[in-house]
Structures are given as structure tokens and as C-alpha cells.
């Protein structure tokens, strides 16, 4: 079972909001001793924020979808170039 922000908060003796403040560097200040307790709990539990949950909450996955019509002859398939300034996506062949 994945470790949650609430698990980290329980071990550190703080609220889940304080764990968020530590992870996100704000918006409220956190006392140095409290920050150390939270960071120690994160290390002990090997907590990793869930990227999918974060994307659902934030409403953005920072992903681009690309749909193409079915090609009869794969040798004639030509892919468009990514927009200028875009990072190079990983290539997946299905």
C-alpha cells in the first residue's frame, strides 16, 4: 500500500497541510524543528508524491495527446515535427 501524506503527518505529529507546506515550500512558513520532523518522516516512510493524484487535483497532466488515422502501410507513415520549443517526447511504437 502506498504511503500517503496523512501517514507522514501522523508520524511527524503534524497536520497533512503542514506536510504540504514543507513539500511545496509554502504558502505558510514552517518552523525549522517541525520541518526537520516532517523531512525525517518522509525519509523513514520513503514517501513519494503521487504524480497522477497531483495532476487530477491540479487539473493538468502536462501531457500532449496525439491521434492519427489508421495507416494501411506503415512504411508511408510520416510523423509531424513537434512544435518549436517543445521538449522531445519519448517515442512509443504500438
CATH of the domain at 9: 1.10.260.40
pLDDT of 61 over the 80 cut? no
Confidence band of 35 (pLDDT split at 50, 70, 90):
very high
Region 27-32: mean pLDDT is 92
Please report whether residue 18 resides in a domain: yes
Residue 74 lies in a domain: no
Which pLDDT tens digit goes with each residue over 6-23? Answer: 999 999 999 999 999 999
* Residue 2: per-residue pLDDT: 85
Of 13-22, 24-33, 44-53, the range with the highest mean pLDDT is 13-22
Angle, nearest 10°, between helix axes 32-45 and 16-24? 90
CA angle, 17 then 20 then 25, to 5°: 125
State the cell numbers at 52. 497522477
Specify if 77 maps to a domain. Answer: no
Examine the pLDDT at 94 and tell me if it is beyond 60. Answer: no
In a domain, residue 78? The reply is: no
Q: What is the pTM of this model?
A: 0.58
Provide the number of structural domains found in the chain: 1
Q: Quick one: 38 exposed, middle or buried, by C-beta within 10 A (0-12, 13-18, 19+)?
A: buried
Q: What residues make up the domain containing 46? A: 5-58
Amino acid at each position: 500500500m502506498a504511503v500517503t501524506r496523512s501517514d507522514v503527518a501522523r508520524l511527524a505529529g503534524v497536520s497533512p497541510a503542514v506536510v504540504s507546506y514543507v513539500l511545496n515550500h509554502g504558502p505558510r512558513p514552517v518552523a525549522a524543528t517541525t520541518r526537520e520532523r516532517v523531512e525525517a518522516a518522509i525519509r523513514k516512510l520513503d514517501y513519494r508524491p503521487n504524480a497522477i493524484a497531483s495532476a487530477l487535483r491540479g487539473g493538468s497532466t502536462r501531457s500532449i495527446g496525439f491521434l492519427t488515422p489508421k495507416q494501411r502501410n506503415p512504411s508511408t507513415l510520416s510523423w509531424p515535427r513537434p512544435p518549436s520549443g517543445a521538449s522531445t517526447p519519448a517515442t512509443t511504437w504500438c
